[in-house]
Structure 1
Amino acid sequence: MFILSDKIKNLIGNESFSYDDVGMSDSTVIIFIDKVLKIQTVSEESEHEYEVMKWLQDKLPVPGILAYEKTDDKNYLLMTKVPGEMSCADQYMRNPEQLVNLLAEGLKMLWKVDISNCTYMHRLDEKLQMAKYNVQNNLVDMDNVELETFGENGFQSPEHLLKWLITNRPEEELVFSHGDFCLPNVFLSGKKISGYIDLGRAGIADRWQDIALCYRSLLHNFEGKYCDKKYQGFRADILFEKLDIVPDWDKIRYYILLDELF
């Protein structure tokens, strides 16, 4: 049971609501008519999300902040509801050319953010420290990793993977990164990006961080990993064509493996 502050109660009034169960987050997300209340356990990531959202208000289409309250163990973030639909909505999945074109535009919008005065760092120094903490505290969710990551033909354990990631860290091409650029976190309205959500890992990072997770998310969604519906005839490599880049498969693999520890 959550105890809401008077400020948040007054803002939501008696509006009808529903719970959002999309995604892998352990937060509680309550959807109102034009607002969203996100309740999370107090952590570095949950506090970072609030701070980076404030910084992004005039830079990217992100939710507006209506109220933020913090108790001993919970953060309550009330924000405006992003218009449109998740990019994994059926209408976009049935039009992969349009979908990937919009996602490529969404990546480019992030990379155009001026990072010269950005203090939010999510470079490999920070990410590997966070990954180390997760490994040492048994926080790696082994039920939601890729089948090939661990086991006979993969890594022996999260500790083994972490050691490999530290040894094989690549050079970084720094941009402003979403940090978890998966289809449910990018909203579309018509033929444009209407918003980014779940910004707890956003900040300065290698641009291949977002490319890798976008690529993986496209594959998983079109293969029907998160629902019973599979979409035939999709070629994930068109992402690189839309971005006009040559895929760096070593970096893509690296950042997908790094994400296994989060």
Structure 2
Amino acid sequence: MSVPTVDPAVPAVVARIAGGRPLRAVWANEIGGTTWRIGAGERDAEFVKVGPPHPEFDPELEAAKLGWAREFIAVPEVLGAGVADGLGWLHTRALAGRNTIDPLFSADPGPVIDALGIGLRRLHETAPVTACPWRREPLTRLSPAALAELGAPPPVDRLVVCHGDPCAPNTIVDDAGGLVGLVDLGELGVGDRWSDLGAAHWSLEHNFGPGWWPRFLASYGIPDDPVRRAFHRRAWELG
């Protein structure tokens, strides 16, 4: 994901939901989707994520996952979801806070690194594997060449309910860097916890630079596993 460098055209469904309220594009993703923020204040902010048909964006499925996960961890409240004019859309109420790559934390990322580990561990510990109706199977999306590069996966360490996209912008924190909740749960499903941890390792370096992995692991609460970490990080990069 990235911040749009130019103002995109406002889709009709976004304009309809905004109803004249302030509106701006805040994220653009690699599959042609855009996330829009509605509202001027923090207390009444809403988001609408829109995108073309794609295996990685099913707004009604993501709405179902958010509704299921909110029993176990703070996630956005779903206000609506559907398809309009060839675009999928998901309308949510914002969690009160900032994502962890907000400039407020650039001078001292330490507290938000802790929040990233705490948030992921909380999801993994509290969401029940036996009750989750979805599976996290990222290897099924890889090309034969990518699978050949990866080789045989290591044995599963521990099955948990994975976030599926645990990159830094998908954790929301308060102004002190304390955990508020998680967003963007469209890939949520049961899988090896190192599927999430490998992706988190990539995100830490991408968003904060080298050197933060030990602190993240300390907040998550397990020792490193270089073999599983390397495999699942590379699977994330190839996906």
TM interval, shorter chain, is 0.7 to 0.9
Counterpart pick for 1:60 among 73, 80, 84: 73
Q: For residue 177 of structure 1, what is the amino acid of its counterpart?
A: C
Deviations 1:175-201 (A, max 9, x none): 111111111111111343222122221
Deviations 1:119-161 (A, max 9, x none): 1111xxx322222xxx3xxxxxxxxxxxxxxxxxxxxxxx433
Counterpart pick for 2:83 among 70, 77, 83: 70
Q: Provide the rounded CA distance (Å) in 2 between the counterparts of 1:30 and 1:242.
A: 32
Counterpart pick for 1:179 among 149, 164, 186: 164
Q: For residue 69 of structure 1, what is the amino acid of its counterpart?
A: G
Partner secondary structure for residue 132 of structure 2: coil
Give the drift of 1:240.
2.0
Give the drift of 1:85.
0.8
Deviations 1:77-113 (A, max 9, x none): 1111122111112333422332222111111111121
Counterpart pick for 1:4 among 8, 13, 16: 13
Q: Provide the rounded CA distance (Å) in 2 between the counterparts of 1:207 and 1:57.
A: 19
Give the drift of 1:46.
1.8
Q: In 1, are the aligned partners of 2:172 and 2:180 still within 8 Å (CA)?
A: yes
Counterpart for residue 19 of structure 2:
13
Counterpart for residue 200 of structure 1:
186
Q: In 2, are the aligned partners of 1:93 and 1:99 still within 8 Å (CA)?
A: no
Counterpart for residue 52 of structure 2:
41
Q: For residue 218 of structure 1, what is the amino acid of its counterpart?
A: L
Q: TM-score, normalised by structure 1?
A: 0.75
Q: For residue 19 of structure 2, what is the amino acid of its counterpart?
A: G
Counterpart for residue 116 of structure 1:
130
Task: Report which of the two structures shows the higher radius of gyration computed on alpha carbons.
Answer: 1
Q: 1:240 to 1:4 in 2, by over 3 A?
A: closer
Counterparts of 1:116-195 in structure 2, within 5 Å, are 116-122=130-136, 126-131=137-142, 135=143, 159-165=144-150, 167-172=151-156, 173-189=158-174, 190-195=176-181
Q: Provide the rounded CA distance (Å) in 1 between the counterparts of 2:184 and 2:167.
A: 10
Q: Provide the rounded CA distance (Å) in 2 between the counterparts of 1:101 and 1:82.
A: 19
Q: Provide the rounded CA distance (Å) in 2 between the counterparts of 1:71 and 1:86.
A: 28
Q: In 2, are the aligned partners of 1:63 and 1:82 still within 8 Å (CA)?
A: yes
Q: 1:237 to 1:256 in 2, by over 3 A?
A: same
CA RMSD of aligned residues (A): 2.3
Q: Are 1:221 and 2:214 an aligned pair?
A: no
Counterpart for residue 140 of structure 1:
none
Q: Which runs of 5+ in 1 are unaligned?
A: 136-158, 224-232
Q: Are 1:257 and 2:234 an aligned pair?
A: yes
Q: TM-score, normalised by structure 2?
A: 0.82
Q: 1:113 to 1:254 in 2, by over 3 A?
A: same
Q: Are 1:26 and 2:32 an aligned pair?
A: yes
Q: 1:99 to 1:23 in 2, by over 3 A?
A: farther
Q: In 1, are the aligned partners of 2:204 and 2:212 still within 8 Å (CA)?
A: no
Greater RCO, CA 8 A, separation 6+ = 1
